[in-house]
Every structure is written in C-alpha cells, then in structure tokens.
Amino acid sequence: MEPQIPRYSRHQLLRVFGEEGQEQIQKSRVFVAGLGALGSLIAILLVRAGVGFVRVADQDCPELHNLHRQILYDEEDATRCVSKAQAGAHRLRAANSEVKIQAVDAAIGPDNVEELTDGVDLVVDALDNIRTRYLINDVILARGIPYIFGGAVETVGNVMTIIPGKTPCLRCLWPDPKAVDDHPRASAVGVLSSVATAVASFEVTEALKIMVGREEDVLSGLLVFDVWRNDFHIAPLEPDPGCICRGLIQHR
C-alpha cells in the first residue's frame, strides 16, 4: 500500500509556505466576522488550510435567497432556521476535525466586539455594514491585531489589508462613516456569487500571508475589481496623519 500523503502537502510544497509556514498556520487563531457570502467561503478555506482555531459569529438564520452564494448552507438549513453560526460550525468541523471551531450566535456590536476579538492573531471581515466594520477597525488598532477588510456588491469587489502601525486603516480610507452609510448593498442592487467568492479568496490569501510571516507581500492599497468588466487595480493608499488611528495605536 502506498504511504498516505500528508493532509497539507500541497501547501507545504509551496515555496511561500513550506513546512514551517504550515506549522504557523496550524498555530494561528482567527476570528471570522460574519458568516454570509464572504464568511462562508473564508471560514471553510481557513479550516481546510488547517488554521488551529477559528471563531465565527453570526446571529442570522440561513434563508433560501442566501443559498446562491453562501456555500456553508443548504435547503434544509434554510427550512429549519438553525443559526448560520451553528450550521456553519457543523460543516466546518466535518471538513477538518483537527481545527477548534468556536461558534457564537450573536450580532457583533459595542457590547461584545472586544470579547470576540480577544485571543486571536487575525480578524477577517465578512460583514455587510460599515458601522460594525468601524467597531472592529478601532478595536484591532488598539490591540495591534491585523484585519482583512472585504466587500462585494453587484459585480464589484474590494479588499484591503490593515496592519496596525504599518498600513492605513478603514478610517484613513473613509474618515466619516456617515459618508459611506448610503453605499449600495447587495439587498438593494444584488451581488454576483462569483464576485463574493473572489473577494473571500483574496481575503484568505492575505490572511495566509500574515500567518506565514510574509507581511511584506500583502496588498499595498485597496484592491478594487469588477469581475464582469475584467477590471482589476490597486488604489494606492497612505496613512492619514490626521486619522484617529494614530492615537489608538500610540496608546496601545
């Protein structure tokens, strides 16, 4: 009988990973904020990659209109209305029993954002509203935790990697949250399933770069792409000297 091929061999063969990089991934602790279109794929890719601990949080139940893009759920989940956190955790554990999964049935807000980001090395964004993103942005800056932002609407995706003290933060990009409150949402204008998948894949790639110690390879600005129009570019960004994130970092 042929010897069994190690579970993570195809990652370990990568020059950017190697065995040492895979070991770092397996020691990492990640919080996935939200389990919708982005979070579904982000969570399953991180778990299958062997991330040691994955915390997921979402209070919603899967609905039929979610299923075209939220790959952790099926029709039965939508019918019996088990929470996304619990339904997702069940499938995540089935995908990789070596990974510790913590499922939190809760909306992310001021009362629990610090607890949800406690004890993790990295936060990956899978949210659908800017207010909650700003909450996380401010907490990770104060704690020095890297944060991967991502968004998808219509056929357009955005991804940005935030490393406290090194890169711009969300407030450098959008200083006033009120100014982006009226940005289009998938619930109003729709979202192509493949653009959500693309955003999630880019976010996971950025997360893995950080886990294996390749921060120098992360995105240099805001990645903006339209999969329908075949348009991809990185908008260069610089930290805003007047941003409140400067003060948050200094008081860590």
Average pLDDT over residues 102-130: 96
Across the range 99-122, mean pLDDT stands at 97
pLDDT of residue 240: 86
For the domain that residue 197 is a member of, what is the CATH number?
3.40.50.720
Strands 221-226 and 231-236: antiparallel
Q: Which residue segment(s) compose the domain that 194 sits in?
A: 9-250
pLDDT band at 75 (very low <50, low <70, confident <90, very high): very high
pLDDT at 250 over 60: no
Report the pLDDT value the prediction gives residue 1, as an integer from 0 to 100.
58
Closest alpha carbon to 62 in 48, 46, 44, 75: 75
pTM of the model: 0.94
User: Around Cβ 213, how many Cβ atoms within 10 Å?
Assistant: 11
Is there a domain that residue 2 lies in?
A: no
Q: What pLDDT is stored for residue 2 in this prediction? A: 63
User: Is 108 inside any structural domain?
Assistant: yes
For residue 213, tell me if it sits in a domain: yes
Q: Give me the amino acid identity at 89.
A: A
Q: What is the pLDDT of residue 139?
A: 95
User: Does residue 152 lie in a domain region?
Assistant: yes
**Residue 3 forms part of a structural domain:** no
pLDDT at 84: 95
* Average pLDDT score over the chain: 93
What was the pLDDT predicted at 176? 79
Q: Per the structure, how many domains does the chain have?
A: 1
Question: Quick check: 235 and 152 in contact, CB under 8 A?
Answer: no
The answer as to whether 47 is a domain residue is: yes
Task: Indicate the pLDDT class of residue 48, thresholds 50, 70 and 90.
Answer: very high
Per residue in 206-217, pLDDT (tens digit) is 999 999 999 999
Do the domain assignments include residue 160? yes
Task: Give the percent of the chain with pLDDT over 70.
Answer: 96
1 lies in a domain?
Answer: no
Q: Are 42 and 126 in contact (CB under 8 A)?
A: yes
How does pLDDT run across 192-202, given as a tens digit for each residue?
999 999 999 99
